[in-house]
């Protein structure tokens, strides 16, 4: 992650999966409603995506786009890794956190104790678009294929293998949940190819795509402390009343979960 607009604590190592994940807190921005389906998490009920409530949050018109599924085609996002390739990925993943209004927050069915930004940072709630975290996960998995180039990640893998593989597992499973949730029903057809015995799948499929640049523009416009060239220090996120709502272990799955309270 970049220095700008990420969350930083002087006690944390210079790079770790935890540091990356915490700079993307929290993950929810899609509108959620309580559903009736039982979840795999104890006896809690699932929270199903309901985008209609926040459809107007970002003006992102759709357009028809044919994916280029050519296997060996060049792409500015593909290897071998370089500064130029990293810059394109980082343009998305290093946007940093943003602020959402209380009105937007009320539609999310997120944890009732989600971090509130102090008045010195404009108020609202600390947030990030899920698509930014998802692309971060794709980038992380891609970088893992080039350990000789991404040496800091390789060093962390060697010194903290449990944390490293836990981060990769988290990213893979988050992407699995997203893909199974939206279940792309685009149709892949097949073509006969010279020199091939079997029909070859044609991944050049047309899709209806949202304007991704419009989403990035919204995230930039609502960045926390976007005028500052320094990354946001944890101490600047302390609530105005000094009361820290803290959960132990992991952020809560249940929006109604009650945290402990610590006076700063």
Cross-strand bridge partners of residue 210: 62
The model's pTM: 0.77
Residue pair 4/94 in contact by the 8 Å Cβ criterion: yes
Residue listed under structure tokens 């209380």: 102
Q: What's the CA gap between 56 and 144, in Å, rounded?
A: 37
The two three-digit tokens of residue 99, written as one number: 């602020």
170 vs 22: CA distance, rounded Å: 13
C-beta separation of 5 from 97 below 8 A: yes
The rounded average pLDDT for each run of 10 residues, N- to C-terminus, in the chain (264 residues) is: 40 39 37 35 41 58 92 88 96 90 91 90 91 96 97 96 97 98 96 96 96 91 73 73 81 87 71
Alpha-carbon distances of 46 from 33, 41, 49, 185, 221, rounded to whole Å: 9, 9, 10, 23, 32
Q: Domain residue spans in the chain?
A: 7-242
Q: What is the H or E stretch that residue 38 is in? A: strand 32-38
d(CA 218, CA 201): 37
């Amino acid at each position: 992650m970049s220095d700008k607009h990420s969350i930083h604590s002087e006690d944390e190592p210079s790079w770790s999966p935890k540091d990356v994940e915490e700079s993307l807190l929290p993950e929810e921005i899609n509108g959620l409603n309580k559903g009736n389906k039982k979840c795999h998490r104890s006896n809690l009920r699932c929270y199903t995506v309901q985008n209609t409530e926040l459809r107007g949050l970002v003006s992102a018109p759709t357009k028809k786009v044919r994916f280029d599924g050519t296997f060996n085609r060049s792409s500015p996002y593909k290897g071998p890794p370089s500064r130029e390739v990293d810059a394109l990925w980082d343009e998305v993943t290093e946007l940093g956190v943003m602020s959402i209004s209380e009105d937007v927050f009320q539609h999310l069915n997120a944890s009732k104790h989600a971090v509130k930004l102090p008045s010195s940072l404009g108020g609202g709630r600390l947030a990030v678009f899920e698509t930014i975290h998802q692309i971060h996960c794709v980038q992380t998995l891609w970088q893992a294929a080039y350990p000789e180039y991404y040496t800091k990640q390789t060093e962390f893998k060697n010194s903290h293998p449990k944390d490293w593989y836990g981060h990769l597992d988290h990213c893979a499973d988050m992407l699995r949940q997203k893909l199974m949730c939206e279940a792309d029903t685009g149709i892949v057809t097949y073509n006969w190819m010279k020199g091939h015995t079997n029909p070859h799948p044609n991944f050049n499929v047309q899709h209806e795509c949202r304007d991704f640049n419009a989403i990035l523009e919204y995230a930039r416009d609502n960045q926390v402390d976007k005028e500052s060239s320094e990354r946001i220090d944890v101490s600047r996120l302390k609530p105005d009343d000094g009361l820290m709502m803290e959960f132990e272990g992991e952020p809560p799955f249940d929006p109604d979960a009650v945290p402990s309270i610590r006076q700063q």
